[in-house]
Amino acid sequence: MKKIISVLVLISLINFYPTWAFAEVTTSSLGEIEPTEETIQSESGSEHTEIQRVVTKISSEEMTASSDDETANPMSEEAEPMERDSIIAGGWSTPHIVYKTYVQDLGWQKLVTDGATSGTVGKGKAILGKDMYFHGGGPGINQWIETGFHLADYGWDSDRAIYEEVLGQRFKKRLEAVHYTLVGTTLSRYNLYYRVHVQNFGWMGWAKNGEPAGTEGYGYRVEAMQVCFVPKNKPAPGSTANAFKKMPKLNYRANIQGAGWQNYVRNGKTSGAVGRGLRMEGLQAKIADYPSTGSVEYQAYIQNTGWQGWKANGATSGSVGKQLRIEAVRFRLTGRLGEEFDIYYRVYVEGTGWLDWAKNGAAAGTKGFAYRSEGIQIKLVKKGTTAPGKTQSSFFERIASERYFPKDVH
């Protein structure tokens, strides 16, 4: 009778959550888990086949035995699947999270559980895939985990098929952030905590219950992760500060002779009319998606006028409608924004082309040559990282009667 009940419990669990996968785990194994012959992997839908194999074995061999045969060895080869699956299905009151990652150049890593590290640290390897499931929580559990992910040049999504195709093996997009959400009511007494190790940042803070973990907009890869359940009456497993960092957006645009204001662009893209012989007459720039203090300030050097005062928050710098060219520019960041980031910018100059990058208030362009600026590019770069290009020749000034043209040095 006990064996029949165990089988029914297992079948009930399969019906409740058909995408579960089971690994051989005990309540004392809180570190790495080596897959065994009995481990039921989650790749390629093999969990359904393996679970069905266990149920079939129990039905055909165990349930035909005499119900009054109390002398059978409970640890015999025939009884072992029943014993193990009975423990997994109904014997645990505490849930355990089990997971593994697919690492660039290294493939699938070992299964780990309950806050252990999966992935690599300090090797410069990106996570290209992951598998996650859990054990325990009591019989009749009705619970699962929904995954959201942010991919480089793709954005946020939660579709597993897209995850496997776009992130994993076909397009190999870089994983930059994740969020995990418990769905159902069985584990309502627990929080699901997770954190990731990110290129150039290291370990981020702990996020929980659907909060994002990682970065967005920096172009940094996730290299490792840790996941665990924590009772809701217990504190987080560590600091929750800076679990997720989103790159602020610097939006900018130019006013062009005869064409007016261009659309806003960002991330180093060109605003202007490069190579068309049209002058820039005005500039606007503003910051978005930055939760802390700070702004972008800018000023233009105008034909027959000189340097204007500093502008900010989308105000116009230049002389729109006066048919005067912008010859040079300066940009700088204020507040916390300026402590975290450098601002780089360069201009396209008449007869010369793109000059090198200037940063943080230095001049970019020309002065005293009567050359028009035709286009501009601007980038925010996290402090401590490299410039987007050369920085040696970003500004040229004509002094007295000296004929020194920027094109002479290119």
Sign of CA dihedral 29, 37, 134, 119: positive
- The per-residue pLDDT for range 89-98, each reduced to its tens digit, is 334 567 888 8
| Residue ranges with strand state E in 185-248 | 190-198, 202-203, 207-208, 213-216, 222-231, 244-246
So what's the pLDDT on residue 211?
A: 94
Report how many helices (DSSP H) and strands (DSSP E) the chain contains, helices first.
Answer: 5, 30
State the greatest distance between any 2 C-alpha atoms of the chain, in Å, as a whole number: 112
* Both structure tokens of 343: 């601002």
Write down the pLDDT at residue 51: 26
Which pLDDT belongs to residue 142?
57
Low-confidence ranges of the chain (pLDDT < 50): 1-91, 166, 408-410
Residue 49: DSSP 8-state:
H
The first and second tokens of residue 254, run together, are 């130019």
Q: In the structure encoding, which two tokens stand for residue 210, read together?
A: 């659907």
- At 124 the pLDDT is 93
First CA to last CA distance, the chain: 89
Which pTM was predicted?
Answer: 0.64
Alpha-helical (H) ranges within 257-410 are: 335-340
- Beta partners for 245? 215
Strands (E), 152-188: 155-157, 175-184
Rounded distance between C-alpha atoms, residue 252 and residue 270, angstroms: 10
What is the token pair recorded at 329?
């520019």
Contact partners, residue 293, CB within 8 Å, separation at least 6: 334, 335, 336, 337
pLDDT in tens, 263-314: 999 989 999 999 899 999 999 999 998 878 899 999 999 999 999 999 999 9
Q: Measured between alpha carbons, how far is 24 from 70 in angstroms, rounded to an integer? A: 26
CB 78 within 8 A of CB 3: no
Residues 6 or more apart whose CB falls under 8 angstroms from that of 63 comprise 3, 4, 7
Residue 277 to residue 349: CA distance in whole angstroms: 10
pLDDT of the residue at 87: 32
Rounded to an integer, what distance in angstroms lies between the CA atom of residue 89 and that of residue 67? 22
Determine the Cα–Cα distance for residues 262 and 353; give it in Å rounded to an integer.
20
